[in-house]
A and B are shown apart, each in its own frame.
Chain A
Amino acid sequence: MSLAWLFDPFRHEFMQRALFGCALIGFTNGMLSAFIVIRRLALMADAMAHSLLPGVAIALLFFGLVPGTLFVGALLAALLVAFGTQLISRSSRIKEDTSLGLLFACSFSLGLVLLSISPARVNVSDYLFGNILGLGDTDLWIVYAISCIVLPILVALQRPLLLMMLEPAIAMSQGVPVTALNYLLVGLLVLSMISSLQAVGVVLALGMLIAPAATIYLFSDSFPTMFWLGGVLGCSGSTIGLLASYWLNLPSGPCIVLTLGLLFLLAFLFSPRYGIIAKFVRGRHLHEASLARWKARANTSRS
């Protein structure tokens, strides 16, 4: 049996480009995902992803199909939504989740309307579900630049970010600029979201941004592990997803997210520490549970 099909994708230039972009996007999003999961920013990230659409549409209306302006448009729109949410939730009785949901539904609708009246001939589904196979040179440079900004910042600020995430009040009392770091995190979130827009589109961007860390979270009790392995998992998972989409002739964006989701499902089922099967098996050994309780009691009374 010939294995030529296995190496087929690596022969085409558009695939090489897509694979490289995908690995980079996967790694950046995967690393950031540790912060999104721990900080519980998933809903906010989702809202922001959807708000990228009107930004893209406005940029298209004014400047036509130029990659650089799309980037700026998306950045502005996402920042607007991020700060708009803060404004609404802080200055009225509306809570943050409500204002987020409202803003993201409205901005997404606005984006769809604007795209439909845009003179540039665009395929809406490219923005909704991504088109990594159409990755151009400029796109690749943008992805590369975003990774060069996001990754060093995350690595350099690991300690203050960790302090802030564990308990903001203590961090503030130690002189950590908590508010500034929060905004920085949102900024980085927007940036890496823009890079994943190209790969999986606005609807699926959230998958790349939370699945890797959520998976590692079920295995590990160490934040650095979550951080680094999240990057590795995001990178390998998305690349495998892309290859699978080529081999099976399926759409690339959904394949990438599904692969990451499948890895999460495996962790959810089989993780030795926090997996559901392990929990079930442990739960049935009654004497073990009571032994643990007895030990705990002996410990507290001894110490």
Chain B
Amino acid sequence: MQTHRLEISDLTVAYKRVPAVHHLSLELLCGSSIGLLGPNGAGKTSLLKALVGLVPIESGSISFHGQEQQLSAIAYLPQRSAIDWDFPITVRELVEMGRYQSLGWWRPFRAEDRREVDRALEAMDLVDLAERQISALSGGQQQRAFLARSLAQKAHVFLLDEPFAGLDKPTQEHLGEAIRKLAQLGNLVIASHHDLNSARELFDYVILLNGELVAFGETSEVLNDENIRRTFRTHIFSGVSHEPGLAI
């Protein structure tokens, strides 16, 4: 069986004519977890949003498994602060929302949909928490709830914006496990991240980004001093270095 792949070729993303990501070409295989690393303003969020069609692309193309953007195949998870956690919804209802796209506006839930929801809850280790309101979860559990929702959507590409931000060490490890599990199930997981130390434990591959691609490859090979310096010290497009002492 041929592995599904996400192909990005010559991608440029710009906000109001100011480019955030420059001429990026990458070929990413399903079944791997990929860390997207770079300083603030390096275009990490822009890249993720462009992949899912939330910001227009200036040039280049994105295709998944040989086809132009397929909305249901790619799931985007915004930063945790973007969500109103007091929303009146339980974990199960949240995961059920993943089925809306295939069900359309009216069709009722079928046995098959319920199975998908159960399976997603189980895969993300949320069965015991299914009836809780989403603010009654820990930060890591909240992330897993949204991952489960994307799983129920039958997404194959998971784009996570800073999923580890604000999590303590054990929670971070647990979420890391969940992400590895998603990758083992044959999905492609791309997560933006800013902590280089934990990146070594969390991801199979890393993309080093600073406006343009600095390096891409297996974590152990690519994450060396030379590449890190090039990513975090030289601000290719912004000129002035904002954060000389960023966590290295």
Complex CA distance for A296 and B54, rounded to whole angstroms = 36
Instruction: Give every chain B residue within 8 A of A296 (Cβ-Cβ).
Output: 138
Whether B82 and A169, one on each chain, are in contact in the complex, defined by CB atoms closer than 8 angstroms, is yes
Question: Nearest chain B CB to A296's CB is how many angstroms away?
Answer: 7
Instruction: Give every chain B residue within 8 A of A162 (Cβ-Cβ).
Output: 97, 100
Which of A160, A173, A303 contacts B174, CB < 8 Å?
A303
Interface residue stretch chosen among B19-27, B73-81, B111-119, B206-214? B73-81
A223 at interface, CB cutoff 8 A? yes
Interface residue stretch chosen among A23-31, A72-80, A102-110, A214-222? A214-222
Q: Which B31-70 residues sit within 8 Å CB-CB of chain A?
A: 49, 52-54
Whether B88 and A163, one on each chain, are in contact in the complex, defined by CB atoms closer than 8 angstroms, is no
A90 at interface, CB cutoff 8 A? no
B90 at interface, CB cutoff 8 A? yes
Question: Nearest chain B CB to A268's CB is how many angstroms away?
Answer: 15
Number of interface residues of B (CB under 8 A): 34
A114 at interface, CB cutoff 8 A? no
Whether A167 and B71, one on each chain, are in contact in the complex, defined by CB atoms closer than 8 angstroms, is no
Whether B88 and A226, one on each chain, are in contact in the complex, defined by CB atoms closer than 8 angstroms, is yes
A249 at interface, CB cutoff 8 A? no
A92 at interface, CB cutoff 8 A? no
Residue interface mask A142-176, B partner, CB < 8 A = 1: 00000000000000110110110111011011110
Whether A173 and B82, one on each chain, are in contact in the complex, defined by CB atoms closer than 8 angstroms, is no
Majority-rule SS of B interface residues: mixed
Q: Which A262-303 residues sit within 8 Å CB-CB of chain B?
A: 296, 300-301, 303
Which of A156, A166, A169, A175 contacts B97, CB < 8 Å?
A166
Provided the pairs A162-B97, A222-B93 are in contact, do residues A169 and B78 lie with their beta carbons within 8 angstroms?
Answer: yes
Residue interface mask B105-146, A partner, CB < 8 A = 1: 110000000000000000001000000010000101000000
Instruction: Give every chain B residue within 8 A of A156 (Cβ-Cβ).
Output: 105-106
Question: Nearest chain A CB to B113's CB is how many angstroms away?
Answer: 13
Whether B138 and A38, one on each chain, are in contact in the complex, defined by CB atoms closer than 8 angstroms, is no
Whether A222 and B174, one on each chain, are in contact in the complex, defined by CB atoms closer than 8 angstroms, is no
Which of A160, A173, A221, A222 contacts B53, CB < 8 Å?
A173
Question: Nearest chain B CB to A224's CB is how many angstroms away?
Answer: 9
Number of interface residues of A (CB under 8 A): 27
B72 at interface, CB cutoff 8 A? yes
User: Which residue among A166, A172, A173, A217 has the maximum number of chain B CB atoms within 10 Å of its CB?
Assistant: A173
Whether B88 and A173, one on each chain, are in contact in the complex, defined by CB atoms closer than 8 angstroms, is no
Whether B88 and A221, one on each chain, are in contact in the complex, defined by CB atoms closer than 8 angstroms, is yes
Instruction: Give every chain B residue within 8 A of A166 (Cβ-Cβ).
Output: 83-84, 87, 89, 94, 97
26 A/B residue pairs, CB under 8 Å, sorted by A: A38-B84, A38-B87, A156-B105, A159-B103, A159-B105, A162-B97, A166-B84, A166-B94, A167-B78, A169-B82, A170-B75, A172-B53, A172-B54, A173-B52, A173-B54, A173-B74, A173-B76, A174-B71, A174-B100, A221-B89, A221-B133, A222-B90, A223-B88, A223-B89, A296-B138, A301-B170
Closest 4 interchain pairs by CB? Answer: A221-B133, A173-B52, A173-B76, A175-B71
Known: A159-B97, A174-B101, A300-B171. 11 other contacts (CB 8 A): A38-B87, A157-B105, A159-B103, A162-B97, A162-B100, A167-B78, A170-B77, A173-B75, A174-B71, A174-B153, A225-B88
